[in-house]
Structure 1
């Protein structure tokens, strides 16, 4: 018999989401230091920050704003508010980390691997506490709900477009190592984010 799921307490949600956001911030700090890109809304923000010289944190916060309206209408206030809080906190973390941590020399392959592993673990922690970093993931869920087209495929198409733009703007080696980091990130989530093994909600 399937055990009755236990809900996370508010304190557990705060620590889980906080840890997840911090780890994602660390991963993005490594990513941007190495001049790499990534997918999803963060990828859009990274590319725009490189092109404009604006900070990633500010661009990431602004890029996510339109998605909150969609999230509130279709996914509910809890998901939306947690996503808003997480995006805001991540924007602050990415602004503050460089003040206390100056990264020295790091090989591009190692930077890609470190980004993928650390950010994947961070997102995993957020998912398990019903949080997200909003953005394209919200659109993907809405498309799946309204058309039946799988959310994963929507995100895959979005990432393909983002990396396609990356090939037009950056050296091929940078984009290819960025793809490696994205693969590592998604493998961490795919292998470990199992609802049939993790029953707490």
Structure 2
């Protein structure tokens, strides 16, 4: 699950969603955007964990830790993101940071609650990976377009890019590469490959649909 929106590998858009053109979102519009985004992301996590797959970024780290420890994904995801909010404030400002905190808190709750509301009698790994990728991609688009994210590594990557010049995309790619390598010690190879399929679809959906020149509201 990507933490930050991308036009392609290594590009930075969250802080540039506002271009000075168009009309900003109202509080109600932001609320529905965050509600939709976190609910769909939570549904994606239900699919992911039902199949025993993982994803990228801090969500993937939280899922992998939950598999190893048996602890709640929602709690782990919330805690893992805590160190990144200060960087988010420094890099993106307080509006982004507050919205991101709310999105992370909502996803932490909804991912656990939805498990009590949804069950699957039959779901093949490849179908689940594709649906997960599409649902999660649309969820992230909603969050990005309302000035929020799901925190984590994407914020750190942008901070390091600003301070050192090292491209954010490479930081994210390196983190995900390490995460999927670690997953090989926990999950069967076929599950890791299906997980990669889901991650590719997420980033494909974002790369195709998230562009500054198509959407300029905050």
2:38 match: secondary structure: helix
Could you tell me which runs of 5 or more consecutive residues in structure 1 were left unpaired when the two chains were aligned: none
CA root-mean-square deviation: 1.3
SS of the aligned residue for 1:106 comes to coil
- Which of 104, 107, 127 aligns to 1:110? It is 127
Q: Which has the higher helix share?
A: 1
User: What is residue 117 of structure 2 aligned with on the other side?
Assistant: 100
- From 30, 33, 40, the counterpart of 1:23: 40
Instruction: Confirm or deny that 1:121 pairs with 2:138.
Output: yes
Matched, 1:180 2:197: yes
Secondary structure at 2:184 match in 1: helix
TM-score relative to the length of structure 2: 0.88
The 3-state SS of whatever aligns with 1:170 is coil
What pairs with 1:153-168 in structure 2 (closer than 5 Å)?
A: 153-168=170-185
TM-score calculated relative to the size of structure 1: 0.96
Look up the match of 1:70. 87
Matched, 1:50 2:64: no
Q: Secondary structure at the match of 2:213?
A: coil
User: Offset of 1:72 from its aligned partner?
Assistant: 2.3
Higher RCO, Cα 8 Å, sep 6+:
2
Instruction: Evaluate the alpha carbon distance shift between residue 167 and residue 88 of structure 1 in structure 2; reply closer, same or farther with a 3 A threshold.
Output: same
The Cα of 1:3 is off from its aligned counterpart by 8.9
Question: For 1:197, what is the secondary structure of its paired residue?
Answer: coil
Cα deviation digits, residues 88-141 of structure 1 (max 9, x gap): 000110111011111222000011111100000000010000000100011011
Q: Any stretches of 5+ residues in structure 2 without a counterpart?
A: 1-18
3-state SS in 1 of match to 2:96: helix
Report the equivalent of 1:136: 153
The count of corresponding residues between Structure 1 and Structure 2 is 200
Q: Give the one of 90, 102, 117 matched to 2:107.
A: 90
Indicate how the Cα distance of structure 1 residues 110 and 74 shifts in structure 2: closer, same or farther if over 3 A, else same: same
